[in-house]
Amino acid sequence: MGRTLLAGLAGGIVMFIWLAGAHMSPLAEIGVKEAPKGSAAVAALDADLKQSGFYMFPGSGLTETSTKAEQDAAMKAQMADMATKSFGIIVYNQPGTGFGMAPALIKEFIFDLVQALVVAFVVAGSTAATFGRRVGVASLIGFGALVATNSSYHIWYGFPLDYTLAYMFIGFVGYVVAGLAIAFVLGRKGAATA
């Protein structure tokens, strides 16, 4: 168990390093556009949205007490609007919310570490005894996780395909490098239980 924890830690560190570098590279800019500075749309959001959150537009007008019939009618109206009008999602943070790079990096490292620990325990418990197979198991776990989330974001929320593919590539390489570190630390199959 100790070696597996160490393997997960090593995997988390190299995954974090790769992701940090990739997100500072042009790869992270694929499919991303910025609103113009001083955008009227941003000013309108600040005037219209009352709290930070995840918003879909056009809105349905439904409330928590809406009936099934009202929900069905709103869905039909939304589909009709989406056929001819703009639609999408916005992750909005109110003015004054602030953003801190250090807290964001700490949270990112924790999530990378958790992912790598899960991978390390799966790899250690698998029948994969060779270095290459262990890296393969880690890579497949990553591929499955990335397809499960990112394809749905593309399909249902309209994330651009180029952004989706670039982000999946960045994440997949993160799992591969984590798998390399995990396989290296675990060593031979018999050593995984040491």
The Cα 172–Cα 185 span in angstroms is: 20
Whether the Cβ atoms of residue 32 and residue 140 lie closer than 8 Å to each other: no
Q: Is 55 helix (H, G, I), strand (E, B) or coil?
A: strand
Q: Mind listing the pLDDT tens digit for each residue in 2-34?
A: 999 999 999 999 999 999 999 999 999 999 998
Whether the Cβ atoms of residue 17 and residue 178 lie closer than 8 Å to each other: no
**pLDDT greater than 70 at residue 192:** no
Whether the Cβ atoms of residue 139 and residue 99 lie closer than 8 Å to each other: no
Q: Mind listing the pLDDT tens digit for each residue in 26-65?
A: 999 999 998 888 789 888 999 999 899 999 888 888 888 9
Put simply, whether the predicted model's pTM sits higher than 0.75 gets the answer yes
Instruction: Annotate 59-92 with b (16+ C-beta within 10 A) or e (fewer).
Output: ebeeeeeeeeeeeeeeeeebeeeeeeeeeeeeeb
Q: Is 57 helix (H, G, I), strand (E, B) or coil?
A: strand
Lowest mean per-residue pLDDT among 62-66, 129-133, 152-156, 169-173: 62-66
171-187: average pLDDT: 97
**Residues ≥6 apart with Cβ < 8 Å to 60:** 74, 75, 77, 78
The Cα 76–Cα 54 span in angstroms is: 22
The Cα 49–Cα 191 span in angstroms is: 56
- Partnered with residue 89 across adjacent β-strands are 56
Domain ranges (residues) in the chain: 2-34+99-193, 53-92
